[in-house]
Amino acid sequence: MLYQTGYLTITDYDENRQRFTLDYPNEEVHAAFARSLVKHGLGLPPEKGQAFHFKLVDALFDGDVDAAMNAIKLFLAEIPYDILVEKEKYFQSVVHLIFKMLGFNCRSEVCIAAGRLDTLVETPEIVYCFEYKLNGTAEEALAQIDTKEYAYPWTGSGKKVFKVGVNFDFEKRNIGNWVVVGE
């Protein structure tokens, strides 16, 4: 039904396996699906889901890292304490899913010559390089971005590049702090 109404398009067909590959026809439809997932899939009340969506999307498009991190922090605060896992990858996965569900170009464990960046998020004008620590410091995370030159491949992209070191505090079960350097 979604294909017939134009909300999904066929991008590939494997005749041997009789398997279709579907995708969104444009960014507008992709964003609408992302908003719907936030509203229904995350179980947030409609007004809270929309507020979260708009705050985070606007913040990232505007280059306001502090507002974006505060929005993510509010989201994490609603996750029940007894389902959290004391692993950096747990928090990384949650943040990755938030970005993807909102329709951002987001990749995690991005391999470059010097190592692996935890999360990369791109908008048309900005690149965000995130490095995470659990029960460490945001400064350590930022130092790793600098030492390994994780942001270097995007410095010539014509986009503004933000390096964001994030520390997750498991005792608080949330983001402890973050530091940002914009280039």
Is 0.85 surpassed by the pTM of this model? no
Same domain membership, residue 57 and residue 122 = yes
Q: Domain range holding 110?
A: 42-182
Q: Where are the beta strands (DSSP E) in 48-152?
A: 105-112, 115-122, 126-134
Identify the weakest region by mean pLDDT among 15-24, 87-96, 111-120, 124-133. Answer: 15-24
What pLDDT, in 10s, does the model give residues 112-156? 999 999 999 999 999 999 999 999 999 999 999 999 999 999 999
Answer positive or negative: Cα dihedral of 70, 74, 77, 80. Answer: negative
Same domain membership, residue 100 and residue 15 = no
Domain count, the chain: 2
